[in-house]
Amino acid sequence: MRKTGMGMVWFLFSVLSLSVGLAMESQTVLTEIQNRYEKTQDLEASFVQEYIGKVMRQPQQSEGKVYFKKRGMMRWDYKVPDQKLISDGRTLWLYQPEEKQVFVYPAEEMIKEFGFLAGVGDLRRDFKLLNPQELAPQKEGTYVVELIPRENHPAVSKLSFRVDSKTYYIVQVDVIDGLGNVTRTRLMEIRTNQGLPDSFFQFKIPPGVEVIKTPSSSSPGGKGIPKK
């Protein structure tokens, strides 16, 4: 299968009342993002995802819809390639219909580095700022915030967020691993607080599908995930 990125991704907040176009400290931007997300129950968006490998001639691209809900729930419905990545907060399933396979992971281990996206983490606690100086909005009206995890992780050496300077929505997430490979996720058509039911984040394994239980050291988006 193609590379599946969990950085993907995104969380949820309302429009801020801060003035637009003023330089801000990275820590202030980070705090506002976290605060607004904590007030949001769920989020859905369309996404385009690219995996840019160091030794690849062309990036691999995928697209679909993504959903997050507090208490560690998330769902990635990929149109291209056809696959689903679903977590109910306890278990994470990666379903590949064409291969008739489903990989099963412990959700707590798999999403802890991105737990803030699903309401189980804190950006300020789990990551350290690389650019703590003042940020001026870019030409396209976004701030760029760069982070590194406070604890070493095999799949994540750096995160880069592109944040809309008017709404403080995160519109792009770059996840860089230790080898310099990049998983870039762009988010569009973002909607929040749609009342997504918990049942939407459940996965029932279809009959005739091979079930592969994977140890926590192998992460979707990390080196342990199989590829086509």
Tally Cβ neighbours within 10 Å of residue 133.
10
Contact 134, 144 (CB under 8 A): no
Predicted confidence (pLDDT) at residue 159 exceeds the cutoff of 80: yes
**pLDDT tens digits along 175-205:** 888 888 998 999 999 999 999 999 999 999 9
In a domain, 226, yes or no: no
User: pTM surpassing 0.85?
Assistant: no
Predicted confidence (pLDDT) at residue 3 exceeds the cutoff of 80: no
**pLDDT tens digits along 214-226:** 875 455 544 334 4
- What single-letter amino acid sits at 215? P
Reduced to 3 states, what is the DSSP secondary structure of residue 108?
A: helix
In a domain, 225, yes or no: no
| Total domains, the chain | 1
| pLDDT band per the 50, 70, 90 thresholds, residue 24 | low
How far is Cα of residue 91 from the mean position of the Cα atoms in its chain? 17
Write down the mean pLDDT value for the chain: 76
Worst-scoring range by mean pLDDT, 126-135, 139-148, 180-189, 209-218? 126-135
In a domain, 184, yes or no: yes
Can you read off the two tokens belonging to residue 152? 């070493």
Please identify which residue in the block is written with the tokens 């100086």.
133
Bridge-based pairing of strands 182-192 and 170-176 is antiparallel
In a domain, 126, yes or no: yes
Tell me the residue range of the domain where 105 lies.
24-213
Reduced to 3 states, what is the DSSP secondary structure of residue 93?
A: strand
Can you read off the two tokens belonging to residue 166? 């008017």
In a domain, 40, yes or no: yes
Reduced to 3 states, what is the DSSP secondary structure of residue 159?
A: strand
Portion of the chain with pLDDT greater than 90, in percent? 30
In a domain, 228, yes or no: no
Predicted confidence (pLDDT) at residue 17 exceeds the cutoff of 70: no
**Whole-angstrom Cα distance, residue 138 to residue 96?**
39
Portion of the chain with pLDDT greater than 70, in percent? 72
Predicted confidence (pLDDT) at residue 212 exceeds the cutoff of 90: yes
In a domain, 154, yes or no: yes
Best CA proximity match to 201, nearest among 98, 91, 111 = 91
In a domain, 218, yes or no: no
**pLDDT tens digits along 32-59:** 777 777 777 888 999 999 998 888 777 8
More confident call, 156 vs 24? 156
CATH number at residue 50: 2.50.20.10
Give the model's pLDDT for residue 132: 63
Given 3-state DSSP classes, what are the helix, strand and coil percentages for the chain, each rounded to the nearest 5? 15, 40, 45
**pLDDT tens digits along 71-103:** 888 899 999 889 999 999 899 999 999 999 999
How far are the Cα atoms of 68, 123, 130 from residue 148, in angstroms, in the given order?
22, 10, 7
Best CA proximity match to 66, nearest among 211, 179, 192 = 192
Q: What's the mean pLDDT in 143-163?
A: 82
Please identify which residue in the block is written with the tokens 């008017």.
166
